[in-house]
Each structure stands twice: as structure tokens, then as C-alpha cells.
């Protein structure tokens, strides 16, 4: 392998029923940084069916080129079809870096593609930059249960592939006047090679519907709530704000709320417009999952709580007094 044969940064764009998911747009933004620093062009890879709108979206979010592969067999994500397409494209175009969202689908796709290509994969990354000495991508990910952050280089093989958590990077402002070359590739996967069949979708309901990564507003509760019933006030504040409920690990470990709500190093990484932390001290592992939020509001009765170090707005007070007042005032708007 001669790494000089490999160039450009690819971002695998995940779509759901034709709509581009946020994580691909976030990765285009950081992909641009990598491409400009060391890897020439930024290229979006879109696989599916009826992808014209998706191609326009990724162009607006900064792709220099879009490679589009359409086919009936790619209507919904499936492991065999998408892996086949990715591997064939890589063999033809030789990208140096491939960024994939660490979603359920991305976590399925990334390892299979890297295995077929006999290259490395860094899974579940929370940071990406260029290693100044080697020019490789330096991938950062939590290791040993989140007790340390590992920085990994994939120097010996190409492409360098990684899955990256949602919410780690921000989307750029779209510019719908941008244009990009659209390259259409005809790659088919015979039906007998696709070993799974999707027979239908059941919309997630209740607890399983928690979508912290794409939430615009999150209201989170911590150990300061004292007992599980007190999550009711967090849920009520979330309801009036049309927000999603988050939690610290302390609240999750106490069994007050499902782990699906956990924000932090071993939970979800989030980047909402507004993050409201109630009764959360701001331990480093919690901050690792939410400090890239646009606006952070902290409610804590301890004025020395570390959460105030990252908060844009801090309320020093008892959450059981503050939260009901907030709910009442917001209801008036
Ligand atoms: P505490 O630290 O106990 O803070 C409670 C806060 O509530 C205090 O600041 C207190 O002043 C305030 N308070 C109490 N009563 C009130 C009241 N009535 N009104 C207002 N404020 C009040 N943590 C995570 O959150 N996410 C993770 O993903 C995560 N991963 C971890 C991974 C590892 C390997 C380790 C070792 C730890 C991890 N942790 C994680 C745990 C983390 O270190 C903290 O223990 C945890 O975040 C603390 O949660 P907390 O802020 O709710 O509780």
C-alpha cells in the first residue's frame, strides 16, 4: 500500500427515508477541516433511493463532490448492500479518510467495511484532528470504560476509517447556492447477496424514542433531585419547552431514570441549542457529553459547583423552587 495513492476525505451520509441525518452534516463540517489541512477534497457518499434532495443538502453543507449510488435494494440500510457499495467505491476512488456517524447503522457498517479492506477502524470517536508529526488523522475515543481518552493513529494502512459520535461537531450554516459535482455510480448488489430482509418499521414509542443526539433543547436532572419521583418536575419543564429529558449518570445509576437518558462520556454526546442542567454538579465525565451545547443553563444550590464553570446562565438556588417558577413563566409566553 502506498498512502500517496489515497487522497480526500469521505463522509458517509446516513439517510432515513430520504432525509439526511444530522450526524453526516456535522461530520462534513469537521471533514472540511481535515480536508483543508491535509487531504484535498471533501466528498459526501450518499447511498439509497431518490437522493436528489439529499445530494443538494450535502452540497449546501460543504461537500466538494457527492458520489450517489441509487438502487431499489438500498431503499433502507442493510449491511450487505451498503458494505458492498462502500467497498467497491473505496477500491475505485481510494479515499484517505472515511468518517461515519457512530449511529446503530454506522456502527454496523464501519467495521465491516474496514475488515473487507483490511484497514483500521477507530470506533466511537469523540475528537478528530490532524497529527502534526505524521499528517495522519488523530482519532480520540474513550477507553477502559471511559477512564482514559485514547488517541489513535492509523498510519500503516489506508483508508483511515472511524465512527464518530453524534453531537461532537456542529453543523455549519448551509449555503443552498453552492454547487458540487454529482457523480452517479451504478453499483448493484444481487438480492441473493443481501442476507437480511426488512419487513417493516415500527415507530419507537415511550422510553425507546429518546433522541438526545438530535434534540434542540435538553433538560437534564441529576442526583440533586433526591428521588425518582422528583424527575416529574424535570419532565414538566421539558414538556413546556418541547425538550428532551437527559440525566447524569448518578441519576441513572440510582435507577431513577432509564440509561437511554444518560448524557456524558459513557452516555450520549449531545450538542443542543439549549442544555439545562438541574441538580448536576458538572463532573468532567458529564461535561464531556454536553459542553459543546450552544447555551448552557445551570441550576444548582452550590455556587461552587463546577457546572457553573461552563454555564452561560447560572441560577444558584434550590431547583425545587426555581424549576416551578420557570415552568410558570414559560407557560405565560
Ligand atoms: P453529584 O455530583 O452528586 O451532584 C449533585 C448536585 O446537585 C450537587 O452539585 C448539588 O449541589 C446539587 N443539588 C443537590 N440538591 C439540590 C437542589 N435541591 N437544588 C439544586 N441543586 C441541588 N457521569 C455522567 O453524568 N455521565 C457519564 O457519562 C459518566 N461517565 C462516567 C464514566 C466513568 C469512567 C466514571 C468514573 C464516572 C462517570 N460519570 C458520569 C460519573 C461522574 O463522575 C459523576 O459522578 C456524576 O456525573 C455525578 O452526577 P450528578 O452531578 O448528578 O451528582
Q: What is the pLDDT of residues 32-56, one digit of tens each?
A: 999 999 999 999 999 999 999 999 9
CA triple 246-248-254, angle to 5 deg:
110
* Residue 189: band (very low, low, confident or very high) from pLDDT cuts 50, 70, 90: very high
Instruction: Kindly state if the Cβ of 281 falls inside 6 Å of ligand 1.
Output: yes
Tell me which DSSP letter residue 36 carries: I
Exposure string of 34-56, with b = 16+ CB inside 10 Å and e = fewer, is bbeebbebbbbbbbbeebeebbb
pLDDT tens digits, one per residue of 211-243:
898 899 999 999 999 999 999 999 999 999 999
The annotated binding site for FAD is made up of 223, 248-249, 262-266, 279-286, 300
Asked whether residue 318 carries a pLDDT value surpassing 70, the answer given is yes
- Global ipTM: 0.99
* Residue 208: band (very low, low, confident or very high) from pLDDT cuts 50, 70, 90: low
Instruction: Kindly state if the Cβ of 146 falls inside 6 Å of ligand 1.
Output: yes
Alpha carbon nearest to ligand 1 atom 17, residue: 318
Nearest atom of ligand 1 to the alpha carbon of 282: 51
Asked whether residue 205 carries a pLDDT value surpassing 70, the answer given is no
Q: Cα of 231 to ligand 1 centre, how many Å?
A: 15
| Environment class of 199 (CB within 10 Å of its CB; exposed 0-12, middle 13-18, buried 19+) | exposed
Instruction: Kindly state if the Cβ of 111 falls inside 6 Å of ligand 1.
Output: no
Nearest atom of ligand 1 to the alpha carbon of 147: 34
Higher pLDDT, 305 or 205: 305
Amino acid at each position: 500500500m502506498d498512502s500517496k495513492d489515497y487522497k480526500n476525505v469521505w463522509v458517509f451520509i446516513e439517510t432515513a427515508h430520504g432525509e439526511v441525518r444530522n450526524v453526516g452534516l456535522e461530520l462534513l463540517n469537521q471533514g472540511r477541516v481535515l480536508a483543508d489541512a491535509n487531504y484535498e477534497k471533501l466528498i459526501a457518499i450518499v447511498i439509497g433511493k431518490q437522493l436528489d434532495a439529499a445530494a443538494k443538502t450535502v452540497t449546501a453543507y460543504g461537500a466538494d463532490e457527492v458520489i450517489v449510488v441509487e438502487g431499489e435494494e438500498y431503499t433502507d440500510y442493510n449491511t450487505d448492500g451498503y458494505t458492498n457499495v462502500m467497498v467497491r467505491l473505496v477500491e475505485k476512488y481510494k479515499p484517505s479518510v472515511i468518517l461515519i456517524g457512530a449511529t446503530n447503522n454506522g456502527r454496523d457498517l464501519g467495521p465491516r467495511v474496514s475488515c473487507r479492506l483490511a484497514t483500521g477502524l477507530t470506533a466511537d470517536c469523540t475528537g478528530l484532528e490532524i497529527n502534526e508529526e505524521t499528517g495522519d488523522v488523530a482519532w480520540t475515543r474513550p477507553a477502559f470504560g471511559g477512564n482514559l481518552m485514547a488517541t489513535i493513529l492509523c498510519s500503516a494502512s489506508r483508508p483511515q476509517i472511524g465512527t464518530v459520535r453524534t453531537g461532537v461537531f456542529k453543523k455549519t450554516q448551509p449555503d443552498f447556492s453552492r454547487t458540487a459535482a454529482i457523480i452517479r455510480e451504478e453499483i448493484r448488489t444481487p438480492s441473493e447477496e443481501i442476507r437480511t430482509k426488512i419487513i417493516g418499521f415500527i415507530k419507537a414509542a415511550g422510553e425507546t424514542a429518546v433522541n438526545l443526539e438530535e434534540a434542540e433543547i435538553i433538560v437534564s436532572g441529576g442526583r440533586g433531585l433526591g428521588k425518582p419521583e422528583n424527575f416529574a418536575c424535570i419532565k414538566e419543564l421539558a414538556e413546556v419547552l418541547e425538550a428532551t429529558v437527559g440525566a447524569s449518570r448518578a441519576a441513572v445509576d440510582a435507577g431513577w431514570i432509564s440509561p437511554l437518558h444518560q448524557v456524558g462520556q459513557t452516555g450520549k454526546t449531545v450538542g443542543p441549542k439549549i442544555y439545562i442542567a438541574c441538580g448536576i454538579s458538572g463532573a468532567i465525565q458529564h461535561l464531556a457529553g454536553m459542553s459543546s451545547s450552544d447555551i448552557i443553563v445551570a441550576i444548582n444550590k452550590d455556587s461552587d459547583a463546577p457546572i457553573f464553570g461552563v454555564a452561560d446562565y447560572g441560577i444558584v438556588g434550590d431547583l425545587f423552587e426555581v424549576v416551578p417558577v420557570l415552568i410558570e413563566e414559560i407557560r405565560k409566553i
